[in-house]
Structure 1
C-alpha cells in the first residue's frame, strides 16, 4: 500500500508538471490554479487578487474553494492555501505566510443578553459554534496552555465566514481563526473576544506548492507577491 501511494503521488506530480503552463518571458502569464479553504473572508481575498492582477496583468487565476485543500489532486493545483502548523509531507513545498489567532468571538448584543462566560464551565450554558478543520474533531477545543476540553456545539461548519456571520448576527459564540481585520460596515466593537486569555491557539496559514512545480518562475513570483501582500495586510 505504501508503494502504491508513492506511485500515485509520483504519477500525480508528473501529470501536474506536464499540465502546468510554462511561458517563456519575464512576466507570469497563462492560468494559475489556486485552491483555498472554504470561508476565507472576501474582504481579505479581494486586495490579494487585486495585487496579483496589478503585478501580473497577463496572468489569469482559476480559484476554487475546498474543505481540505491538500486533499485535492495534485493535477488540479498550482498553489494550495491551507492552515497547518507542520509542513505537509510528501510532494509539497510549503511556506508559512501568516499566523492568526483562533479564539472565541461573539456579538456584544449576544453577551449583553446571555451573559459573558468567565470560565470554560460557563460555556455549557451558551450557543457554541465550531469550525471544522481538516482532520480534526470540532468538538475538542484547546486552551492557550495546551490543554483540551470537549464541547457540544450547536453548529459545526467548514465555512469560517459563515460562523463569523452567525456570531455577528448575535446567534452565539464561535471558535474560529481570526485575522483581526475589521468587518466591512461594522464598528470595531461589533464582535468581542470571549475568554481571550484562556481558550484558543495559533493557526499558521501556509502556501504549499507541488514540489515539481515549485521552481517554475510563474509560481515562484506569485508566491512571493502574495507573501508580501499578506505581510502588508497583517502589518
Structure 2
C-alpha cells in the first residue's frame, strides 16, 4: 500500500474536505482528489461518501482511518524521541489538567520549568473534561482521579481535600463560626454541586447548602471562589493546596472537609522515553516535594 497515498487519505479524513487537506499538504485539490481515487481503486472500495458539505467516511474508510491514526500517533512519538537529545529539551508538550489546579497551582510554577528549558513550548489545556491521552488529545495529564486506561503510565502526586477558608479581615468583621450551623448568617462562596468538579467537593457543597445558608456566591471555577474570598466577600470552599501560595487564607471549621481526592500524573506508555515528558514529570515531582515540605513546615499538612 502506497504510504504517500495513506498520508493524503489521513489528511482528507481528518479535515473532511479535499480543499482543507490540500491546504495542509500544500497540494492542489485536484492532486489530492487523484490520489484518493487511486487509493480507492487499489483497495477496490469507496472510502468517502461525497456530499455538498464535505466528505464523510464510509465504513471501510473508518477502518482505514483508525489504522492511519494509530500509525500517525506512533510516528509522532518516534519523531519526538528522535528530536529529543540527551542534553536538549525542546518542542511542544500538550498538558491538560483542571481549571483550578492548572490556574492556581501549576501555571504560577511553570517559570521554573522555562528557566531550565527555555526552548520548551507548553500548550496548557485547562478544562474539567478528561481528554483522551491514548488518542493524543494531550501528552500529559494531571487528573483528580486515577486514570482508567490500562496503557497509561500513572504516578500518584498527592491527596487534596476541599475545606472552608476566609480571610482574617473577614472573620474580624463578620465573626468566626464555631460550628457548621454558625455558617447560616455568613455568605458561602462555592461552585454549584451540579457543576463539573470532583465528587468529594460536590458532596461537601451539598452538605453545606443543606444548612439553609441565606446568602451565597456561586462561581464556576476555583479561581473565582478564591478571588471572592480574598476580597472578603464571604467564606469559600477551596482545595487545600491553595494555602501554600495564599497566606491570607485562614481555615474555618477545621472539622469540616471533603473526602480525600487523589491527584495523578499520567501519560501514554509510548511517550515514556520522550525527553519533554520526562522533563515535565520531574519538574512536577520536584514542585510537589517542595509543596509538601512547605506544608509540613507550616503545620498545614
TM range (shorter): 0.7 to 0.9
TM-score computed with the length of structure 2 as normaliser: 0.60
CA-to-aligned-CA distance 1:173-216 (integer Å, 9 cap, x gap): 11111222143xxxx4x321111123344333321213433343
1:97-121 deviations in Å (ceiling 9; x for gaps): 2333421001223223333222222
Q: CA deviation at 1:24?
A: 4.3
Structure having the larger proportion of residues in strand: 1
Aligned residues, how many?
216
Q: Distance in 2 between matches of 1:104 and 1:128?
A: 9
Give how far 1:128 is off: 1.4
Q: TM-score, normalised by structure 1?
A: 0.74
1:96 alignment partner, one of 137, 140, 156:
156
Structure showing greater relative contact order (alpha-carbon pairs closer than 8 Å, 6 or more residues apart): 1
Q: Residue in 2 aligned with 1:39? A: 100
Correspondence for 2:270: 212
Matched position secondary structure for 1:140: helix
Q: Matched residues in 2 for 1:220 and 1:98: separation?
A: 19
Aligned partners of 1:139 and 1:151 also within 8 Å: no
* Distance (whole Å) between structure 2 residues aligned to residue 168 and residue 14 of structure 1: 50
**Higher normalized helix content (fraction of residues):** 2
Cα deviation for residue 160 of structure 1 reads: 1.4
User: Quick one: distance in 2 between partners of 1:123 and 1:50?
Assistant: 39
- Return 5+ residue gaps in structure 1 as ranges: 1-6, 143-147
> Structure 1 residues 15 and 53, CA, compared in 2 at 3 Å: closer, same or farther?
same
Q: Which has the larger Rg?
A: 2
State the partner residue of 2:109: 48
Unaligned runs of 5+ in 2: 1-62, 294-301
| d(CA) in 1 for partners of 2:95, 2:102 | 16
Deviation at 1:44, TM superposition (A): 4.2
